[in-house]
Amino acid sequence: MLQAGRKIENSLIIFVGMSRNPKNRRREPIPIPEPAALPEPETIDAEAIFNEYVSDGIDLVAVIGPTASGKTRYAVALADKFRELGRPAEILSADSRQVYVGMDIGTGKDLKEYGDVPYHLIDIVPAGTRFDLFQWQQAFEKAYEDIRSRGAIPILCGGTGLYVQAATCGYTLPQVPPDEELRAKLFELDTEELIARLSELGKLPDEGVLQSKRRIVRALEVALYEKDHPVKRSSFLPKKPYFIGTLVSREERNARIDRRLDERLAEGMVDEVRRLIASGIAPEDLMYYGLEYKFLTQYVLGILSFEEMRTLLSNAIHQFAKRQMTWFRGMEKSGAVIHWTTV
């Protein structure tokens, strides 16, 4: 088992150090580029945002950022400030995995952080089921409309870029029917080719999708469908969001990720996976959710040792955080204004 783990680790090292350019047939090591500069932080004026909302200048406050950057804590503090200013606020989660009941420690729900601030889109479907982007957008739209109808301020909070985009794009996504013939053809392709085809159709989805061939195939199926079926403008989705990005240094973010991972392992994250499997969820369905559930399930099944699981999972979370930042910087390039602030 240890030998297999070493092969996995070695393959990761080789993958990072080699070019994916097919012209580089000798697979020569290439220099790793310097990381992009972090955006300049701003001082956020909560009262100014509040006044802009009540005057109808914005219709949603969105707190976004990479994992372990303090989004939930910041969103709750913002909600408390809005209440002091005279208007209650409620939080909508933009996390693709916190929708599942029973997947608590692995998804980092941290429900105690919300205090008495109402939250939505958490624990709304059973673990083991499929809940796609179309369904999430429908649930978001319903909750968003409800919050607004009661005079409260909606605060979107999360790091799943695709879900943030679905909530703030102003367009209703089409319900994509399954195409079994297309799926069969796509499954004949290897994962790298599928990801390459998917990247040609737009931004790549998040890390959880890219770790599962089945989810990559579905994402490609949806992208191909949407190419020929344009989305329609929605009557209820927000049209004037105000984006706040939570910012921490890379060193601090990495330290937080590792510290939080060890805390969650100590809290019983492995036992949570065992309970989910014991409840009848097939291991392959649990691994479908990626990151913690992918590697912890392999540990529970005896495929990985604890040390191997811990190392591979930590590396995967660090890579996921980098992809999240890339996604949000891509939003800025597409015209979104994100007010980054140090947390």
Q: What is the pLDDT of residues 269-284, one digit of tens each?
A: 999 999 999 999 999 9
User: E strands of the chain, at which residues?
Assistant: 60-64, 89-93, 100-101, 119-120, 125-126, 153-158, 171-172, 232-233, 241-247, 338-342
Question: For the packed helices 71-84 and 46-54, what is the interaxial angle rounded to 10 degrees?
Answer: 60
Per-residue confidence at 83, pLDDT binned at 50, 70, 90? very high
Between 243 and 219, residue with greater pLDDT: 243
Residue 233: its pLDDT value, please?
Answer: 59
**Which residue is associated with the tokens 């012209």?**
23
Q: What is the pLDDT of residue 227?
A: 75
CA trace torsion 255, 259, 260, 262 (10° rounding)? 140
pLDDT at 235: 64
Residue 119: φ, ψ to 5°: -130, 160
Which pLDDT band, with edges at 50, 70 and 90, does 207 fall under? low
Taking residues 252-261, report their average pLDDT. Answer: 96
Which long-range contacts (C-beta less than 8 Å, at least 24 apart) are formed by 208-213?
208/96, 208/97, 208/289, 208/290, 208/291, 209/290, 211/290, 211/291, 211/294, 211/316, 212/287, 212/288, 212/290, 213/187
pTM over 0.85: no
The arithmetic mean of pLDDT across residues 302-311, rounded, is 97
Q: Convert the pLDDT of each residue in 187-203 to its tens digit.
A: 888 888 888 888 888 76
- Percent of the chain exceeding pLDDT 90 equals 65
DSSP lists the bridge partners of residue 292 as: none
> Per-residue pLDDT for 157 more than 70?
yes
The pLDDT-based confidence of 317 (bands split at 50, 70, 90) is very high
